[in-house]
Structures are given as C-alpha cells and as structure tokens.
Structure 1
Amino acid sequence: MSFGKGCHLHLVDGSAFIFRAYHALPPLTRKSDGLPIGAVAGFCNMLFKFIEDNAGPDAPTHVAVIFDYSGKSFRNDMYPLYKANRPPAPEDLVPQFPLTRDATRAFNIACIEKEGFEADDIIATLAKRANDAGARVTILSSDKDLMQLVGGGIEMLDPMKNKRIGVEGVEEKFGVGPDRVVDVQALAGDSVDNVPGAPGIGIKTAALLINEFGDLETLLERAGEIKQPKRRQTLLDNAEQIRLSRELVKLDEDMEMDLPFEELELKEPDPETLLQFLAEMEFRTLTNRVAKKFEVDPPEIKIVEPEADASGPEMPDINPESYEWVKDATTLTAWIDRIIGRGYVAFDTETTGLDEMRAELVGISLAVEPGEACYIPLIHKTSQTDDLFGSDDLADGQMPLDEVLALLKPVLEDPAILKIGQNMKYDAKILARYGVDIAPIDDTMLMSYAQNAGLHNHGMDTLSDRYLGHTPISIKSLLGSGKSAITFDRVPVEDAVKYAAEDADITLRLWHYLKPRLHSAKVTRVYERLERPLVPVLAQMEMAGIKVDRDVLSRMSNAFAQKMSGFEAELYEIAGKDFNVQSPAQVGEILFDQMGLEGGKRTKSGQWSTPADVLADLATEHDFAARVLDYRQLQKLKSTYTDALQDHIHPETGRVHTSYSIAGANTGRLASTDPNLQNIPVRSEEGRRIREAFVAPEGTKLISLDYSQIELRILAHVANIDALKQAFRDGQDIHAMTASEMFDVPMEEMTPDIRRQAKAINFGVIYGISGFGLARNLRIPRSEAQGFIDRYFERFPGIRQYMEDTVAFAKEHKRVETLFGRQIHTPEIDAKGPHAGFAKRAAINAPIQGTAADIIRRAMIRMPDAIAKLPAKMLLQVHDELIFEVEDGAVDEVIEVVRDVMEGAAEPAVKLDLPLTVDAGIGMNWAEAH
C-alpha cells in the first residue's frame, strides 16, 4: 500500500515510555552481571502490550518509537538556561537508554532520534508530513507540549489512561484550541523546562488574555490597553522574554529528515530476534509470554531463579475510578489486616483547612499497594454550601469518627508498622489532637528534599509530575477558589474518594521511587539523622505555641500609629507641603522633580517609582528619603506584626502556633509561617519591642539560648583562617574587633550601633556582598563601603580563597555540601547576566549557613530526651536561637542542660576546630530573655 489516505500512523513518545517504566517498577538488576534493567523490563512490557492491543479496523498501519537524543538541542542555543533545572538522569537509568533502543529494534519497530532535536520535534515533523499526505496520526503520549499538534487528522492517546485527546481535550487543558496552545504556553512558561514566560501569569490567565486579544502578538502590541495594572506592567516589561518563550515551546514541524514512510510500516517481530534479546535480558516471564504468542519454544535462560518477574509486579496505572469507598467496620478491618500483613501503609488525612490547630478531620485515606487505595469519609455534608441554604446533615455511607479512630489507633501507633506520608508533620498534628500519636513515619517530601534541594520544590504535585509522569487531581477542582471556595467536608464523597485515595496511592509510589535512591545519592544519613527525626520534635513545638499578650500588641499598634503621624508631619515640613506618604508617585515627585535628586526611575505609565532599594540609596544623601524609609518600616511593623499577630492568637490556648517548614529553604534552615516569627525585625528599637508581647505564663520564665557567632566559627573552620581562629581563642568579640579595625574606634569606646555596622560587614562580606549592597545596608557612601570590604579581605585573606574554591567546586559538581553531608544543588551556577552573581553568592553562603542549620537541627532532635524530666517546653527556633518556657524553680538547671546539648550538637559527626558557645538569657518576655 502506498502511504497516504487510509493509512494510520502511530508515533510513540519513547522517552516518556522509558521514564514511566523506570519510575513505575522497583529497581531490578540482571542476575548474571548486576546490570540495571528495571526500565528496560517495563519498556518491553509496554511494547508487547502495544502489539497485542492494536488489532482490528482502527489498528495502525505504520508505527515509530521516537527518542530524545542525548545532549543539548537547538533551544539551548536560543536560551542557555533551557531545561537547566532538570536533574541529570539517575545513574542506574543511564545504561538502560541504549538497551531501550535495542528493544525497539528487537520488536521490529522503527526507532528514530536525531542529534540537536528533541523527540517532540521529530514527532511534530512526522505527524505533519503524514497528515499532509492524507494519513491519520495518533501520538501515544500525555505530554502537554504535543497538544499544539492536535486537530485535522492528528489526535493524542494517553496510553496510561487509555484516553484519547482531541481538540476538546486540548481546550479543556489549556482553555484555547490547539492553534493557540503555543501562545498560552509562552505566557504561562514552564518551570519544569525552565521556560521563563510572564512572571505571575498562569494557564488560566494566559487563556483569558489570548481569547480576548486573539493571539500573542496582538496581545503584546496592545498590552497597554489591559486594565489590571500589575498584569499590564508584567506584559510590557517582559515582552521579549515572552516572545523567546514562544520560540522555546513551539515545536519544529519542518525538520530535515530523509525517512521514507515505507520504513515505518508495521511488521510483526521476528520471534527468534525478539526472544534472543529478551533472553539476554533474563526476562523469563516476558520471554515465555512472547514464545506462547508465536507458538515457539522459549530459549533457555540460564539463571538459578526467575527474575523478580520483569513483567510484574507491574506498576498499574493511576486510576481514581478503581479506589475503594470504605463505609463499614468490616471493610476497614480487611484493610487493617492487609496493613498488618504488609508492615507499612501510605497514609493521608483530609481536613477542613490548613491550620492544624483548628482544622477538623474529614476523612482518612490508605494505600498498601500501588493502585490499591481507599478513603474513609467521616463528616462529609449533604450540601456543598455552608450558607443559609446549605445543610449540615451528614452524607450517607460514612463511619462514626470514634469507631474509625478506635480501629486505626493501634495500627497508627504500632512501632512495627511504618506509616508513609507526604509532609507527615501536618497529619501527625491533626491526629495528635484526636488522641493518636502516629509513629514511626517516613516522609516522601523529606526524601525528595534530602536528594534534590535546590532543583525543585517538594510538593506532591511536583513530585508526581516529575517522577511518576502523572498530574494529580487538583484540589481547586474540588474546592474552587476565592470567596466561593468550599471546605473539604462539603465535597461529595464520590469525588473525595478519587482525590484522597489518589493522594495515598501517589505517596506510596513516590516512596517506592525515592526511598532506594537515598543510598545512591549518598544522603541516607542526612534523611535519617537530620530530616525524619525532626518531624515529631517540630510537631510538639508547634502544638505548644507561645503565649502572646494581646493588650501589649494593641498598645504597640497605637504607639506606632502615633509615631507614623509624627513622621508624616516631619515629611510635610521637609517637603514644604502635604502629600500622600503612602503614594510612591507622590514621594517620587518630591524627590526627583521638586528636590532634583538623581537615581529616579519611572514606570511605563510615566509615574515615578520609589522602591525600597532606591530609597536606601538616596537615604545616604537626604533626610527625606531616610524618613520615608523609616515611615514604611514602621508601617510594615504595624500591619505585619502588631496588628496581624492579634488575629493569630488561638481562641482556646491564648497562644500563637507558628508552623515550621522543614523543606522550605535549600540550606536546611527552617522557615516559620502563619505567622512568620523568624523575621521579626531586631535592628530597630521598635522591631525589638515587638518581642515584649511574647510572654511567659505566671510561674514560668522564658529562656533564650543562642549560638554565639556560629557562622563565623564555621567559616574559620572550613576556610582554615588562622587569624579568625586565634581571635575566637583569645575570647575577642569578633564584631567589636572588626568595628575597631574598620572604623578606627578603640574597643573601650565601642557603641552598639558601631558594632552592629561591623556585624553587617562580617556577614555581608563572607556572603559576597558588593560595595553597593553594603552601602545600602549601612546607609553610607559606596566608596566607603568598598573600602571596608577591601580592608576586610586584607585582614582575612583566607576568606577570598574559600569563596573562590567553593564556586569552583559548585561549577564542577553542580552542588555544594555542608559538613554533615547535606547537598545543596546549584543548577544556575554557570548562568550569565543578572543571575550569575546571585548564584555564586548562594553557593558561597550554603555550606556555612547550611552547616549552622544542621547543627541546630541536631540540637533540637536531641532536646526532647534531654529535658524530658524537667518542667520545660521548647517553643520556638529562630535561626541560631532556641526559646523555652520553664517553671521558675528549674531555670538554672534547664539552661545548663540545654547549653550542654547545643554546644555538643556537632559531635561526634564533626569535630570543629573551635568550640561552639551558647549565650543564655532569662525574662518574663522574649525581649528580656534575648
């Protein structure tokens, strides 16, 4: 048959098949030589299934498997950072790439790849040529980038879901037809491929804009007409970046390819060739299946035992329709028996909100095998609204909460059964409020964090997309957004089962993928010693909270308001007129039009812009700019802390319960949120006063223990700076010493302000701050700031050598490490332009800050056992400081115990050249204690 009308071409996204196979199956090696073959096994099973499934009138007449060519593509010439965030392929997958090509040829299927091009470009070119010739084309892939090809005889088939994707499916995904997918992607960008797009614009907004203006170029030409100021400015400022993004996401449909379509004709495999390949791979099960299909004797495979069934346990597709709704004790008991038999379970909770101290438990999901998961609904309502017309009646098919907890509590607390979760701290706190202490645990979020810090975030959706090739059901699709959003107890149970059980299923699959890779990534110790054991410690701290005096905050808010009024009056006097201090444009008019100062910049609309960095530069020259900065800083203190903290006081406990993110910062530092108690400003008197509102209950004191200059001590150790080591050994105050040398001030005449400036120099210089940045921080001329930096390097020459060595290591290995083995990846270390300086500073910073973070983590993990018999509670961690609430009579003893733990936290893993020292303070409030 001549190729053309009546033909049906199947184009298989081979690279997607490989990664799907790799992530779906547990690690597998060939018994004879230890060669990794898990991905090859899964890939061969997919090809065999493809052959068996494609029969009948709709079967393909032609087929090709398309692969990505290793190395860079033409897109990297356009944009060097294209796909820069992607980690290298796992070590055990690399030798399997050529074997999958061999497998394709063994199945007698055309195998295509081309240097300098991606598989998607080859697919686009072949699809277009075949379609132009009159053939039907089916692309076997779920890759969203290929959706721009759909239509006019070209469709997609997601082989994992057996779901066909036509024009309607594309419109459902992108909100536009296939001909405008590229425009939407250009605006939305792609974090996985590092396509920049337009900052802050997602798929939905991009689709709205394209539908309104017709196409991308028209939108960019008429961007000034957009009513929303932020959106308008984003498009105006990033037009060229958006056009570049369009070129990056647009597939090349006109590649030069000399490939007769006759070579793609579907043929049956040659049994002898295929069976020989399968036998060489030692795939006993698949070898027997293929031999049976072709009615020939299977070749002998000389291994003692069959492999761990290369065709199974095949990781089934993620199918929300297959999950079980648990409605009664009999069904739940059967699940519990399976959990006990297995020895582990993936576990997740669904609740009415994100605040673990207030949210209600709505349901629980469990998974014991990939594809086998259930959901136990508890308090779902019959109505989807909670307004006057909604109902609080419980929906049918739910078990009583007390009965479910009574059945599950022994399992969840059983030390012989591992509970696996994603961000288990949240679930642990929820269950603790219901009397269940879940342990022991494994956390897939923290496994990813230990392996991939600096490469991507560690949320479940990201991990599922990246490592399982599956986009989970969106929570927004169930709850909605904005004012019309509902809580999870209002979600119909049928929908909740699919969503919640899928979460448990995905978590279990991620655990199967991530757990064995801890060893190969050499971060098992980091996960087991620094990440996992911190979960219960933080959960306990967060639930304890810290008492906050609402009256103190209210008085501070009033005082701040009065002081802001005073600043306003002072500014009016300097300006010679009244104006709106909160208007950047009006402030700019006074600075740049009226006063004639230099350095001003206008927005696209022609108004003056007065961001903090501009004001900081001008503050060194004029009191007006300095006073505007003071006003804004006071305004921020009032709105962010003294006003907002009052809303965070728990109505039952009278305390503020912050939440710590273990995997938030790449360096291992904890991040405090809702509210953020780590960024309360302490440089100003007003900022320090906010800590007065954090108080000790009657009969107790707050004690603060703070590492003294820990990062400088670590720097002296890792950079081997003798002068700095000697200064510490002599007991000198390093910041005061620096101040004395930099500012030529005798030690006995040192003031707190001068010492604070020296502290800024110490920490700024070791993290690569420029003279420009230091001048801004200290509000001094740039030449003076640069002089400080130059003299600093002369005083401690080893610091510059450390900085150069660290950057060189980062460039070679694309990561840096702490003294405890924590890896912080540096994918942008070779970036050019404005990112270059930031990437280098981050690389220099990470080993020092990360080591300090590891040390305080080690101290926190040891602390519960150390103070278990003492009347004390650990409440807060703020960078290098720990805050405790202690009964009056035990203060001295607790300080002694805590200090011993903190000062010995690095050992025995690391022996520092300098001892760690810890300062202690006591008070009725945090300000007094620190």
Structure 2
Amino acid sequence: MRKLNIDIESFSSVNLTKSGVYKYAESEDFDVLLFAYAVDDGDEQVVDLARGETIPQEIIDAIKDDAVLKWAFNAQFERVCLSRYLGVHLNPSAWRCTMVWSAYMGLPLSLEGVGAVLGLDEQKLKTGKEFIRYFCVPCHPTKTNGHRTRNFFYHDEDKWIQFKAYNKRDVVVEMAIANKLNKFQVPDFIWDEYVLDQSINDRGIQIDRTFVQQAIQIDEQNRCLLLAEQQRLTNLENPNSVKQLSQWLNDQGLDVSSLDKKAVNTLLETTTGTVNRVLQLRQQLAKSSVKKYKAMQDVACKDNRCRGMFQFLGANRTGRFSGRLVQLQNLPQNHISDLKEARALVKQGNMEALSILYNDTSNVLSELIRTAFIPNGLFYVVDFSAIEARVIAWLAKETWREDLFKQGGDIYCMSASQMFGVPVEKHGVNSELRQKGKIAELACGYGGSVGALTAMGALEMGLKQEELQPLVNAWRGSNPKIVQLWWAVDKCVKETVKERSITRTHGITFSYQSGMLFIHLPSGRKLTYIKPRIGENTFGGESVTYEGVGATKKWERIESYGPKFVENIVQAIARDILMYAMKNLKDYQIVAHVHDEVIIEATNASLDDICRIMSQVPLWATGLILDADGYTCEFYKKD
C-alpha cells in the first residue's frame, strides 16, 4: 500500500466553525461515525463505525505508517480527528491535502467549489449539510423528538443510508480532483512547507485564560454602563439601533445618512456637548475587536493553547497564509505606554481603576488583545523590515532604493521626507510622519493613484486633495524602473495569453498551458490564473481577465493589469522569503506568524541569532537586501 484516500464523518458538541478542529476533537463526546477510504485509487469503502463496524487492521496500520501517504480534502481535519480517535499523534509529514493542491492551482478552497470549477463527472452531494446538521451536531430537544439532544443512525435509517453515500462520494470526488490535476503536481518543497505549517498549527499559541475571562467580564460591565448613559442622554429605548440613533441625531439638527466608523469620526469633529458625548458612546460601543477575547475562549484547548489559526496557501492569488478563528492577522495595535500596568488591572478585574485612569475602557481592552497571548518563557518576535519595498526594488533594479537599504535607511521615512519636505526619522524628528510615508509607498507601489491614497486615509492624515496627484507624479518620477516593471509584466502577460507563448522579464517567466496562465517565481513556485483571456477595461483599453474567487467570495471573472500582477508577484516572493526563514528556524518553537513577522516561544534563545537567520537570503534571491529586527516580551505586543 502506497496511498490511502480518507474521508470521515464525526460528531462533537463543540462548534467546529467557531472553535476549530483541535478543540472539536478534544470534546468528551467526540466520535467518528463513518470512515470512507480507498487504497491506491481502488474501490471506495465505507466503515459504519456508528453501527459497530471496525476499521480493518491493515488500514489502521497504514494510517499510523509514515511510509503510506494519506490523502484527504482539508487533511488537517482527518489527521487531527483520527489522532484523537486512535490515541496517537499522526505525523503531518505522512499526509497530503487535496485542498492545498487545489489552492496551489488557484482553485476554490471547498470540495464543492473545486468539483464545480473542474467540471467533474461526479460532484460532491449537496445534501450533505442536511445530514451533518442531523447526525453530526447536537439537536434541540423537543416533545416531538422525545427531548433527545442527539440524533443517532437508528432515528432515521433512510437518512443514514444517504449519509453513507455522501461520505463515500467525498472520497470519489477527492480522487477525481487528484486525477484531474495529475499533470500539475505540487513541488515537493511546497509539501515540506505544508508539513511545517501543520506543525505550527499543532503546537498552537498559549492564552492567559484568567486575563481573557476578566477582559470579557469588564467589557460586558462597561457596555452596560455605556448603554445606560446613552439611554439617559437620548431617552431612546435602544440607542444601539442605527435607525433609532440616526433619527435622534437628525432631530438634533444633524444630517446623518450613516453611522459607520468613518461617519462617526467625522461627526465627532463638528459636534459638541450632549451630541458629541452620544457619538463618543456610539464609537466605544461599536468596537468589535473585543470579540476576539471570546474567540480565544472558543478556540483554546484544555492546555490553554489556541490551535489551527493558519490556513496554508489561504490567499489564492499569492499563496500567502490566511488567518483562521482568532485571526491574528488583524489585531489592533497597542499604543498605551503603560501596557503592563493596564494589563494587570484587567487581570485583577479592577474596572474602577481602569475607568479612572483611562477615558475609554473599550479602547484599552482593544489595545490589550495582543497581550492575551503569553509564552512559556519569552516570546521572540522578529519581522522583516519593509519586505515588499525591498522585493520590488530588487526585481525592478531600482538602484537608488537598493543603495538606501544597503546604508540601513528607512524607505518610509524617505518617502515621508519627500512628501512633506522635512527630515523624518523612525524614532526621532517628525517620526509621526513615517506612517504617511508608508501609506504612500503601499498606495503607489502597485500603480495606485489618487484613489488609492484616498482609500488608505491620506486626507484624514492631513494631506490635501490638491496634493495627491502631484504626490503620485513625484513618486512615479523618482521610481522609473518600478514603473517600467509594471508595464513589462503587463506586456508579457498579454503576449502569453494571446499567443500561448513563453515570455520573460525581470527574472519572471510567464507560460500558458491547458487554459491556465502560470507565473513562475524565482523560488520555483508558480502562481496560477484560470482561463485567462484578453478583455476591455472600463476605460476602453485592453486588459486581462481570469476566473477566481473575487471580492464577493464567489467564483467569478476578475480583471487585472500589469501593476496588479506585480503586486501578486511581489507579495508572493515576500511570502516565499518568509517561508524560507521559517524553514531555517524550524529548530525553534514557532508558535505563530503574522504577515512578515515570526513569533517564537523559548526560554533561553538568542534574539541576535534569530534575527541573523531571518536575514539570510535564499540563493534564488541573490542580491536582495534583507533586514530583520526583533524584540522579546513576556506577553505578545507590538514593540
């Protein structure tokens, strides 16, 4: 036996969507109901475990044997569940994931979605959700069902027979996907990366459960006080209602069409007295980031570690990681100077001291979210400095930028200096302008113009409307090689799609095969664009469109052009560099990673060594100037 395709159906009272598979499988009532499998692409079999059937011993041996490759769609689910069921830790190195293969090919991250896009003869059965709701999660006790809290196979024999067919079909579809993608194999080094990703997900990151519980309690108390004050000031039954509060504000002489964050911030600048206070309360009540504390509670396992928070190749266009569950990728920044003291007050449940010392308890709780993560020992937090700016400078050979990086200069400070005509130092003179320089870099680096600057908050940061276009012109004028890179890539993509030819520019190769555009990265990884074709953009010009998961989260036709493809390429290369660094750091206990940052848990490591390893440049990126910096902390924070 060389290969084993697996799909299981299971029961747990833990909510899989909210808590993730690790806590789901840890539940006392967790059970595997059905086990479908196929050996070496042979006939599919279903073992009805709920009825007392047993998995053949040779299959159990194969599951435990690292020499036999186990395949499943979203293999993490099967591996973690079977680890619990069999009472062993199944090594991720012996597992392969059809979902990862699909993601590598630019396909959806759902079995149903992949089957539909590939036009498989046999699709995932759409009735599955009904069976899962019936057999796999607790049911609501009613008089009709005899007040039971769970449905077993004997409660509906017909449904159970269909459920077994559904389980079997999933294995059929998984093998059909593999067969369809057979000539586009995932490189071995990508599977090595997947194994590392699974190890990090298995390890998890620890939370301070007492601190989290107290934060949730303080938030609930604080919300009650804020709502009571808002009710007293407005005499509204529910001032949290957008409709009721909008009407109240209109009655106070304000023309209110929206109460979103941006609209409330604008109104706060022009109002005073009671109206201003009501808007402040609205702003504090609207903070959604504190929900992350509850997410931590939902996800944390019995040992207080949150697991399964990273989706390998989750970002379809670039192959970057996506966040799951607690979503570390969008945590609020922390700016309060006495972070440790504020954190201690929350852990003590001292809401009175918090309200006296800080004007906005909601904001304090928001800024303390990161600090809920704690290490056994210390956290070593290391990240790359301006990684995308360095990669695009290296690709385009924009030498003045490379010289700046060689001298240890800060690209964001330099951009801010150009924008505002004053010297800007990261932790020195005019340091508050550095963020504006960063926004200009991010907005203009991939072809963005006035609209991109506006979307990134340029006007709110003090820039004037009439300054934006000159700023864009100045940025492009000082970065001519990056502009050349945009349009060289644009030309190659269009030529490849039109003529089905291989083109090259700036060390990047473009090819076309079987209805797909491939962009070959220096690392050896490929970006895939499904069914590309030449179309016309809204300005009447020529553009490239392809099929993918769009902004609506649905499979649709997406329009792109040179600078956008460059953005994909640069972010993909930055991702590959992060992955290279993580592989080099595999002997350390990596517990999390956020964008271009790695978080290591250790008791006695060398920060300098970790920074040095992070700064190593892969052979395929010779000439790239990397820099990594870091800090240690007794709880997670932004330095």
After superposition, residues 862-877 of structure 1 pair within 5 angstroms as: 862-864=584-586, 867=587, 872-877=588-593
Distance 1:754 1:457, change over 3 A: same
Out of 911, 916, 928, the residue aligned to residue 626 of structure 2 is 916
On the 8 A contact 2:38/2:171 being kept in 1, the answer is yes
Residue 655 in structure 1 maps to residue 305 in structure 2: yes
Distance, in Å, in 2 between the alignment partners of 1:808 and 1:625 is: 54
After superposition, residues 26-105 of structure 1 pair within 5 angstroms as: none
Deviation at 1:842, TM superposition (A): 4.3
Residue 422 in structure 1 maps to residue 73 in structure 2: yes
Match of 2:546 in 1: none
Q: Which amino acid aligns with 2:189?
A: R
Distance 1:463 1:570, change over 3 A: same
Residue 636 in structure 1 maps to residue 319 in structure 2: no
Residue 902 in structure 1 maps to residue 614 in structure 2: yes
Distance, in Å, in 2 between the alignment partners of 1:746 and 1:648 is: 46
Distance, in Å, in 2 between the alignment partners of 1:860 and 1:924 is: 22
Match of 1:431 in 2: 82
Match of 1:366 in 2: 37
Match of 1:727 in 2: 404
After superposition, residues 176-575 of structure 1 pair within 5 angstroms as: 340=1, 343-352=2-11, 354=16, 355-357=20-22, 358-359=24-25, 360-362=30-32, 363-368=34-39, 372-378=43-49, 380=50, 395=51, 397-399=52-54, 404=55, 407-433=58-84, 434-438=87-91, 439-451=93-105, 453=106, 456-465=107-116, 466-474=118-126, 475-480=128-133, 484=139, 494-518=161-185, 524=186, 527-530=187-190, 532-557=191-216
Distance 1:572 1:684, change over 3 A: farther
On the 8 A contact 2:290/2:369 being kept in 1, the answer is no
Deviation at 1:833, TM superposition (A): 4.5
Out of 770, 784, 805, the residue aligned to residue 488 of structure 2 is 805
Deviation digits for residues 356-414 of structure 1, max 9, x if unmatched?
21323514221136571112233x2xxxxxxxxxxxxxx3x422xxxx48643432243
Distance, in Å, in 1 between the alignment partners of 2:488 and 2:5 is: 43
Distance, in Å, in 1 between the alignment partners of 2:264 and 2:483 is: 31
Match of 1:227 in 2: none
Distance 1:891 1:626, change over 3 A: farther
Residue 848 in structure 1 maps to residue 573 in structure 2: no
On the 8 A contact 1:364/1:375 being kept in 2, the answer is yes
Q: Which amino acid aligns with 1:533?
A: D
Deviation at 1:916, TM superposition (A): 1.5
Distance, in Å, in 1 between the alignment partners of 2:489 and 2:637 is: 37
Deviation at 1:717, TM superposition (A): 0.9
Residue 695 in structure 1 maps to residue 374 in structure 2: yes
Deviation at 1:615, TM superposition (A): 5.5
On the 8 A contact 1:534/1:861 being kept in 2, the answer is yes
Q: Which amino acid aligns with 2:53?
A: Q
Distance, in Å, in 1 between the alignment partners of 2:495 and 2:243 is: 47
Please, what TM-score do these two structures have when normalized by structure 1?
0.51
Residue 879 in structure 1 maps to residue 595 in structure 2: yes
Distance 1:572 1:496, change over 3 A: closer
Deviation at 1:507, TM superposition (A): 1.8
On the 8 A contact 2:139/2:150 being kept in 1, the answer is no
On the 8 A contact 2:4/2:39 being kept in 1, the answer is yes
Residue 742 in structure 1 maps to residue 419 in structure 2: yes
Distance, in Å, in 2 between the alignment partners of 1:689 and 1:413 is: 42
Q: Which runs of 5+ in 2 are unaligned?
A: 141-148, 337-362, 498-516, 540-550, 552-556
Distance, in Å, in 1 between the alignment partners of 2:393 and 2:381 is: 25
Deviation at 1:510, TM superposition (A): 2.1
Distance, in Å, in 1 between the alignment partners of 2:152 and 2:194 is: 27
What secondary structure does 1:681 align onto?
coil
Distance, in Å, in 2 between the alignment partners of 1:630 and 1:755 is: 31
Distance, in Å, in 2 between the alignment partners of 1:427 and 1:846 is: 32
Deviation digits for residues 193-227 of structure 1, max 9, x if unmatched?
xxxxxxxxxxxxxxxxxxxxxxxxxxxxxxxxxxx
Match of 1:766 in 2: 445
Distance, in Å, in 1 between the alignment partners of 2:618 and 2:371 is: 35
What secondary structure does 1:877 align onto?
strand
Distance 1:693 1:738, change over 3 A: same
On the 8 A contact 2:378/2:602 being kept in 1, the answer is yes
Deviation at 1:878, TM superposition (A): 0.9
Deviation at 1:581, TM superposition (A): 5.7
Q: CA RMSD in A?
A: 3.9
Distance, in Å, in 2 between the alignment partners of 1:429 and 1:659 is: 14
What secondary structure does 1:803 align onto?
helix
On the 8 A contact 1:428/1:539 being kept in 2, the answer is no
Match of 2:465 in 1: 782
Distance 1:626 1:613, change over 3 A: farther
Distance, in Å, in 2 between the alignment partners of 1:817 and 1:612 is: 41
Match of 1:3 in 2: none
Please, what TM-score do these two structures have when normalized by structure 2?
0.72
Match of 2:605 in 1: 891
Larger Rg: 1
Deviation at 1:509, TM superposition (A): 2.6
Distance 1:577 1:515, change over 3 A: same
Deviation at 1:832, TM superposition (A): 3.9
Match of 1:128 in 2: none
On the 8 A contact 2:310/2:323 being kept in 1, the answer is yes
Distance, in Å, in 2 between the alignment partners of 1:344 and 1:751 is: 61
On the 8 A contact 1:648/1:656 being kept in 2, the answer is yes
Distance 1:670 1:696, change over 3 A: same
Distance, in Å, in 2 between the alignment partners of 1:731 and 1:542 is: 34
Equivalent pairs, count: 531
Deviation at 1:566, TM superposition (A): 9.5
Deviation digits for residues 687-724 of structure 1, max 9, x if unmatched?
44211111123xx1111111111111001011221221
Deviation at 1:435, TM superposition (A): 0.5
Residue 584 in structure 1 maps to residue 242 in structure 2: yes
Q: Which amino acid aligns with 2:485?
A: Y
Distance 1:838 1:702, change over 3 A: farther
Distance 1:629 1:746, change over 3 A: farther
Q: Which runs of 5+ in 1 are unaligned?
A: 1-339, 381-394, 519-523, 601-607
Distance, in Å, in 1 between the alignment partners of 2:495 and 2:279 is: 45
Deviation at 1:558, TM superposition (A): 6.0
Deviation digits for residues 560-613 of structure 1, max 9, x if unmatched?
67887998899999xx9666664434565577785566xx7xxxxxxx344456
Distance, in Å, in 2 between the alignment partners of 1:427 and 1:654 is: 22
What secondary structure does 1:792 align onto?
helix
Match of 2:527 in 1: 823
Distance 1:768 1:683, change over 3 A: farther
Distance 1:628 1:665, change over 3 A: farther
On the 8 A contact 1:694/1:925 being kept in 2, the answer is yes
Higher percent of residues as strand? 2
Q: Which amino acid aligns with 1:743?
A: F
Identity %, equivalent residues: 21
Q: Which amino acid aligns with 2:120?
A: L
Q: Say which structure, 1 or 2, has more relative contact order (CA 8 Å, 6+ apart).
A: 2
What secondary structure does 1:477 align onto?
helix
Deviation at 1:668, TM superposition (A): 0.9
Residue 858 in structure 1 maps to residue 512 in structure 2: no
Q: Which amino acid aligns with 1:344?
A: K
